[in-house]
Amino acid sequence: MVQGSQTDMGGPKGRFRTMLSRRGVMTAAIASAAVALGRMSKPDTALAGVDGDVVLGAANNETTGTSIQKLGGSPATAFTVTNTTGNGIDVLSTTNVGLNAAGVSVGVFRSSGANNGIGISGQANGNAFSVALQGSSVPGFGVFGASQSGIGVIASSSGNHAMFGSAAGASTSGVFGTNTSATGIGVTGSNAVGIGVSASSGSSIGLFAASASSTAVVARSTTGKAAEFFGNVEITGDFTASGMKSAAVKTSDGQIRRMYCLESPTSYFEDIGSAQIVGGTANVALEPLFASTVDTSDYHVYLTAEGDCQGLYVSGKTASGFSVQELKGGTSTATFSYRIVAKRTGITNERLAPVRLSADPSNPQSTGPRPITQHVPEIPSFPTPPKGVTIDNR
């Protein structure tokens, strides 16, 4: 750039120099205009001074990308975008990740100060395997949601699972929920018209519940059945019912009728059979497998004659069987049936043993069936989304 002096030296030479100076100024102006036109002819790239602000042009056509780096100082935030009427930042990638963020502490942090606002929103419009928002971590949390008084994470889907969890570890869970409150619930499922919680397994346990010091499973229904089992049921431990125990049996009228269990103040096993007296006597052996389950040192035998005789009585009992004799020295030959009743072995056979059923939560000193308070899970209400964001809560 040529720059001349504005001093008029007088005379023809002085006027010439002045003209030259003016031509230099014009040349500089033309050069500046050319630079400006050159910038207008193509989009500006992002520029950043060492200590100055970042200046963004109309577009960034750099093939190597633009990097913004903050090397300490205050404030701690490296890059802030604010828009009072629209989106703060729109990120789009046609072939790969739209936004990739990482941090020693938090990769992306955004809070919404507006009512019903959303801190971060992701949307995917691709195929069924597209991901709107993805979080990944090698040793820590992939996605973490927290709230002081609301819902930490809300998931919604109109045509598939709202939330899907998968784990490959031997002692891990696909979905894990916990609650530190004594009256809280780790995992809640609710459905107004369908199944609240469904569990299944192809080759192992469908639903497993355990408690270290309390009840593992509590089921209650106000108008229907508390539980139904379609298949065999196995219980390891005592079975106590405050109501009736019965079998459902189909009768000749085509209906299912109740057949009630006989109860006893002591736990007994019994066996039933038939035999025959010959010459007025008979020896009946206890079936060995049955004998192994009962106390054979003291058992009861009930006889019923099924033929003409003077009557029957038990003349002797041993651990292996019993003897039957006809009354009055009779020598008849007749059949009879018998019923053996003996105490069960392997348990405490206490007569009319006291039992304490689960107490009423409102009165821990009470006994009797527990009228469990119906727990109605709180169904979360979906927030009203900001403009442009849709939450399907159908």
What is the pLDDT at residue 264?
Answer: 94
Based on the structure, what is the number of domains in the chain?
2
In a domain, 1, yes or no: yes
Is residue 69 domain-resident? no
Closest by Cα among 119, 98, 94 to 108: 119
Long-range own/partner contacts, residues 101-110 (CB < 8 A, 24 or more apart): none
Report the alpha-carbon distance of residue 168 to residue 147 in Å, rounded: 28
> Residue 116: its pLDDT value, please?
60
Instruction: Confirm whether 78 is domain-assigned.
Output: no
Whether 322 is covered by a domain: the verdict is yes
**Would you state the pLDDT for residue 371?**
45
What are the mean pLDDT values of the chain's consecutive 10-residue runs (394 residues total)? 43 49 54 53 49 52 64 70 75 72 64 63 71 75 79 80 83 84 83 87 89 84 87 89 91 95 94 98 98 97 97 98 97 98 93 80 49 51 58 50
Q: In terms of residue numbers, what domain contains 17? A: 1-40
CB count in 10 Å sphere of residue 310? 14
Return the pLDDT at 86: 73
Asked, for residue 276, whether it belongs to a domain, the answer is yes
Quick check: 294 and 343 in contact, CB under 8 A? yes
Task: Check which CATH number belongs to the domain holding 288 and give it.
Answer: 2.60.40
Q: What is the pLDDT of residue 4?
A: 42
Among the candidates 344, 364, 387, a domain finishes at 344
The pLDDT, as a whole number, for residue 145 is: 81
